[in-house]
Structure 1
Amino acid sequence: MADPYRVTLVCLGNICRSPMAHVVLEEKLTEAGLGDRVVVTSSGTGGWHTGDPMDSRAAATLSEAGYDPSHHVARKFTIDEYAENDLILVMDHSNEADVLELAPTVEEQQKVRMFRSFDPESSPEDREVPDPWFGDEGGFTRVLAMVERTSDALTEHLRPTAP
């Protein structure tokens, strides 16, 4: 069997947006029969939460929607992510700038895209997943809705790419 296609999702601390997207995308890929052909990981551009579980509000939002957030452990994005992944999806423009700064080559920068570039409801002016950290639980619900529809579209995009 060919090596799996590898996707990583990146936000700031790897405790809210990227782990929510990680859990949802992994589930959507499994439901589509691609779970063994696409490997999903996540990380944060900042390392202060390394080793921590997902934010409790993010985990509760996922649990209430029927997902299992219990396996997440935060980790920091490193230059090694370029060699280890085929696609690097960032949650906002600040994450994008941080990730691109670490790219070992201009060619490797081509792996980086905005996560919501796959969202059928986004526009070129509206590609960011807002950080719900400082808001209320409603922010996590809105992020989950974005993540679910983007993950549905991303799953369809990855179907022909996955070995």
Structure 2
Amino acid sequence: MDRHKILFVCAGNICRSPLAEGIFRHLAIKAGQGSEFEVDSAGTGSWHQGERPDRRSMEVASDHGVDISAQRARRIEAADFHRFDLILTMDQDNLKNLRKIAPADTLGKLHLFNAFTLGSGKDIPDPYYGGHEDFEATYTMLLAGCNALLPLAGKALRAS
């Protein structure tokens, strides 16, 4: 069976997208579907390349039983547009940036996370300059979206 390949994208790949990757992987494993998905995350910028997720993202994830400490930040690569079946951005700015660099035949793979998962045009706000409560709120938003994504992803990706 082919695995469904999902890439989560934010700006620096240290706060939101690593959380989304970790949450989705955790939920898929809990549902007995871990082997059905290849999940990764990336940033549109390279400021944090090679770094672990922000300590506050790791703490919030850990508080909820999700370990993202082995992840390392990376910048999206040209090959990612063809490698992944679904590319979900955390906000409109990152979606706009990806649309500028994506090959034309991959534009249909690019979606705003909340629009694809929950039918909402709301961004997942970047908690980087906030405190623990901002990271907790981000986790809660991503959890809601990832819970909706799990049953959607297999169906949507099988249909494409």
TM-score, structure 2 as length reference: 0.93
Task: Find the residue that maps to 1:58 and give its secondary structure.
Answer: helix
Aligned residues: 158
1:50/1:73 contact within 8 Å kept? yes
Report the Cα offset of residue 102 of structure 1.
Answer: 1.2
- In structure 1, what is the equivalent of residue 114 of structure 2? 116
Change (3 A) 1:87 1:162: closer
Alignment RMSD (CA, Å): 1.4
1:22/1:42 contact within 8 Å kept? yes
2:4/2:154 contact within 8 Å kept? no
Moved more, 9-18 or 108-117: 108-117
Task: Find the residue that maps to 1:7 and give its secondary structure.
Answer: strand
Counterpart CA distance in 2 for 1:119 and 1:143 is 15
2:85/2:157 contact within 8 Å kept? no
- In structure 1, what is the equivalent of residue 155 of structure 2? 160
Counterpart CA distance in 2 for 1:161 and 1:26 is 17
Could you tell me the percent identity over the aligned residues?
32
Change (3 A) 1:150 1:80: same
Alignment of 1:1-163 (within 5 A): 2-105=1-104, 107-120=105-118, 123-124=120-121, 127-161=122-156
Report the Cα offset of residue 119 of structure 1.
Answer: 4.4
Counterpart CA distance in 2 for 1:111 and 1:123 is 17
TM-score, structure 1 as length reference: 0.91
The aligned amino acid for 1:34 is Q
Counterpart CA distance in 2 for 1:30 and 1:62 is 15
| 1:59-79 C-alpha deviation (Å, 9 max, x unpaired) | 011111111121110000122
1:19/1:72 contact within 8 Å kept? yes
* Structure 2: stretches of 5+ with no match in the other structure: none
Counterpart CA distance in 2 for 1:115 and 1:142 is 15
Counterpart CA distance in 1 for 2:45 and 2:157 is 30
* Structure 1: stretches of 5+ with no match in the other structure: none
